[in-house]
Amino acid sequence: MNTGLKLQKGINLGGWLSQYHTFDHDHFSTFIQDADIARIADWGMDHVRLPVDYPILEEKQPAGDFTITGFAYLDRCLAWCQKYNLKLLIDLHKAPGYVFDCWKEASLFNDPALSQRFLHLWTTLTEHFHGVENLAFELLNEVMLPDSAPWNLLVGEVISAIHAMDPARCIMLGSNHHNKPDQLQYLELYEDERILYTFHYYHPMVVTHQHAYWVPVLENLEHAVGYPGPYPDIDYFGKEAIGKTMDRCFLKAALQPALDFMEKTGKTLYCGEFGVIDCAPMATRINWTRDMLSLFSEHGIGWAVWSYKAMDFGLVDRRGEVVNEALVQMISQRQA
Q: b/e for 90-109, b at 16 or more Cβ within 10 A?
A: bbbbbbbbbbbeeeeebebb
* Annotated catalytic residue, options 59, 138, 142, 240: 142
Q: b/e for 5-20, b at 16 or more Cβ within 10 A?
A: bebbbbbbbbbbbbbb
Q: From CA 212, how far away is CA 204, in angstroms rounded?
A: 13
Q: From CA 54, how far away is CA 189, in angstroms rounded?
A: 26
Cis, peptide link before residue 228, omega less than 30° from 0:
yes
Which class for 315: exposed (0-12), middle (13-18), buried (19 or more C-beta within 10 A)? buried
106 backbone dihedrals φ, ψ, rounded to 5°: -115, 50
Contact 54, 95 (CB under 8 A): yes
* Annotated catalytic residue, options 138, 273, 298, 325: 273
**Which residues does 33 contact at the CB level (< 8 Å), separation at least 6?**
none
The β-bridge relationship of strands 302-305 and 9-12 is parallel
Listed in sequence order, the DSSP H helices in 202-247 are: 205-208, 216-219
**Which residues does 283 contact at the CB level (< 8 Å), separation at least 6?**
226
Active site residue 193: no
Q: b/e for 165-197, b at 16 or more Cβ within 10 A?
A: ebeebbbbbbbbbbbbbbbbbebebbeeebbbb
Active site residue 191: no
Catalytic residues: 142, 273
